[in-house]
Structure 1
């Protein structure tokens, strides 16, 4: 082998088969950016598709999903004791006040309206598909005897059920996961971590949209009931003054939401 040939071989080995650390970092960065872009594109497509899918699913499906989840929730909290009769009576009264102001169309969506109080120190309330609303005793303790606050929270939760947010979330998350799995296929540990983080962000962003929609519904329902939405705004502000991790994880931007509620009140919407 000549000296020229040897030099040529060395050059090929140095440039053709080796990669500098900077180049590896750049290539990895491009790969991760492509994956993130794909994730956000899939998220948007899943959102549009889930809305269309849920539109053709009858409300009876919501009730079936909610029944299963409700039974599991009651069994889970059954060992914690029971709320007092006064607590149950208070929640029942306010729930019935709000339910009486629902329109016929809203009643058709809430095929299984029900209010359940669970003994739990968490400050929370949530609605299941079909219309069952759960109130934890921690929320009752937090609101004390302020019925206006409790009424605002319940109106908001009824909004989640009427707008079918639970079923929409299930459909969207399922479509999102299937899309990523189909397009990306097998992933290494790094890209899997990126997707997991983006999936959490996706849930948060979609949750914000649903929370705003439930707030708007709550304001309207309270107005139809001749009640003020001020209690809901006040409760949201209290979350900023005394944060509640369980709520803030799915009810973000509480102060901004309280401001938006008061703006709707002033605008008469």
Structure 2
């Protein structure tokens, strides 16, 4: 090989793609842009597919999922002690008041309605598919003797079950993950990390929309039974603000939710 040829190859090597930071940065930028576009496309696909799939799943499936999870949770929480009879009677009474306001179609979705009070200092309540609702005693302590607050929270949780949010979330997350895996295939560690983070943010955003939908249902259900949703708004305002931006929270801002509830009360919708 002549000296000129060697010099030419050395020059090409020093300026080639493998050694050009600018080319590497551009290539990485294009890759990340493609990933973002893929994620938004998969998100839309997952949402539409989940809606169609859940519509084809009978409510009995919700009840089976809820029953299995409910029994596990009762066993777990049972180790921390039992609530008082007064606490259980109070929640049972309010739960039955709200159930009587459901339409026949809504009752058909709640195949296995049941409310369970568990001894736990956390201020929380949650609904499982099929109508399993759990109320933690910490929430009752926070509400004190204000039944309207407890009633508002239960109406909200019943909304989660009636709207089938648990099953919708399970199906949507599964479709989202399968879509990403099918289209992208094998991923290196960096790309996998980016997609994992984006997938988590997508899940959080969907959770916020479900919380807002459950709020709207709760307001409507309370109105049917001639109760004011003001109790739900007051309860939301009593919650301590989460130390993270709303974008990264699984729930919308509590003050914003309380404001939306009062606006819905005033508009009669």
TM-score scaled to structure 1, two decimals?
0.94
1:224 shift after superposition: 0.3
- How has the CA–CA distance of structure 1 residues 268 and 182 changed in structure 2, closer, same or farther, with 3 Å as cutoff? same
Matches within 5 A, 1:134-173: 134-173=134-173
2:61 matched to which residue of 1? 61
Following the alignment from structure 2 to structure 1, what is the Cα–Cα distance between the partners of residues 118 and 5?
A: 82
Instruction: Tell me, yes or no, if the aligned pair for 2:117 and 2:134 is still in contact at 8 Å.
Output: yes
1:193 shift after superposition: 1.2
Three-state SS of the structure 1 residue aligned to 2:83 is coil
Per-residue deviation, residues 121-166 of structure 1 (Å, max 9, x unmatched): 1111010000011001111111111111110000000000000000
Instruction: Tell me, yes or no, if the aligned pair for 1:152 and 1:229 is still in contact at 8 Å.
Output: yes
Per-residue deviation, residues 222-265 of structure 1 (Å, max 9, x unmatched): 000100000111111122xx2368xx943222111111111110
Per-residue deviation, residues 81-124 of structure 1 (Å, max 9, x unmatched): 01110110110010011001111111011111110001111111
Following the alignment from structure 2 to structure 1, what is the Cα–Cα distance between the partners of residues 104 and 234?
A: 30
Instruction: Tell me, yes or no, if the aligned pair for 1:123 and 1:244 is still in contact at 8 Å.
Output: no
Following the alignment from structure 1 to structure 2, what is the Cα–Cα distance between the partners of residues 228 and 61?
A: 33
Following the alignment from structure 1 to structure 2, what is the Cα–Cα distance between the partners of residues 201 and 14?
A: 41
Three-state SS of the structure 1 residue aligned to 2:116 is strand
Instruction: Tell me, yes or no, if the aligned pair for 2:111 and 2:130 is still in contact at 8 Å.
Output: yes
1:69 shift after superposition: 0.7
TM-score scaled to structure 2, two decimals?
0.94
Following the alignment from structure 2 to structure 1, what is the Cα–Cα distance between the partners of residues 38 and 18?
A: 29
2:102 matched to which residue of 1? 102
Following the alignment from structure 2 to structure 1, what is the Cα–Cα distance between the partners of residues 144 and 6?
A: 86
2:72 matched to which residue of 1? 72
Following the alignment from structure 1 to structure 2, what is the Cα–Cα distance between the partners of residues 225 and 147?
A: 14
1:129 matched to which residue of 2? 129
1:37 matched to which residue of 2? 37
1:250 and 2:250 correspond = yes
1:117 matched to which residue of 2? 117
Matches within 5 A, 1:151-230: 151-230=151-230
- Report the number of matched residues: 265
4+ residue segments displaced more than 4 Å: none
